[in-house]
Amino acid sequence: MRYLVSHSTAYTYSSAVHDSRGLYHLRPRSLPWQEVTSHVVHADPLPADVNGDVDLYGNTVTYFQVARAHKQLVIEAKTEVTVFPPRYDEDSLSTPWELARPLENPDAAGGWAAVEFALESPRAAHAEGVTEYAAASLTPGRPIGEAVTDLMHRIHADFDYDSTATTVTSTVADVLRKRAGVCQDFAHLALACLRSHGLAARYVSGYLATQPPPGRDRVIGADASHAWVAVWMPGSADWLAVDPTNDQWAGERYVTVAWGRDYGDVSPVKGIIFTKAKKSTLRVAVDVAPLPEIPS
Element holding 111 (H helix, E strand)? helix 111-114
Average pLDDT score over residue span 85-99 = 94
Q: Which of 207, 225, 238 is nearest to 100 (CA)?
A: 238
**Global pTM value:** 0.94
pLDDT at 109: 76
pLDDT band (50, 70, 90) for residue 295: low
The CATH code of domain 2-83+267-291 reads: 2.60.40.2250
Which sign, positive or negative, has the C-alpha torsion 8, 58, 289, 160? negative
Q: Could you say which DSSP state residue 262 is in?
A: S
CATH match for 90-264 among 1.10.10.10, 3.40.50.720, 3.10.620.30, 3.50.50.60: 3.10.620.30
Q: With 90 as the cut, is the pLDDT of residue 111 above it?
A: no
Q: With 70 as the cut, is the pLDDT of residue 90 above it?
A: yes
pLDDT at 293: 76
In the chain, what percentage of residues exceed pLDDT 70? 96
- For 136-153, write each residue's pLDDT tens digit: 999 999 999 999 999 999
Q: With 70 as the cut, is the pLDDT of residue 296 above it?
A: no
pLDDT at 97: 96
Average pLDDT score over residue span 185-202 = 98
pLDDT band (50, 70, 90) for residue 21: very high
pLDDT at 71: 97
pLDDT at 216: 67
Domain ranges in the chain?
2-83+267-291, 90-264
Q: With 70 as the cut, is the pLDDT of residue 221 above it?
A: no
Mean pLDDT of the chain: 93
Residue 175 CB burial class (10 angstroms; 0-12, 13-18, ≥19): buried
Average pLDDT score over residue span 276-295 = 90
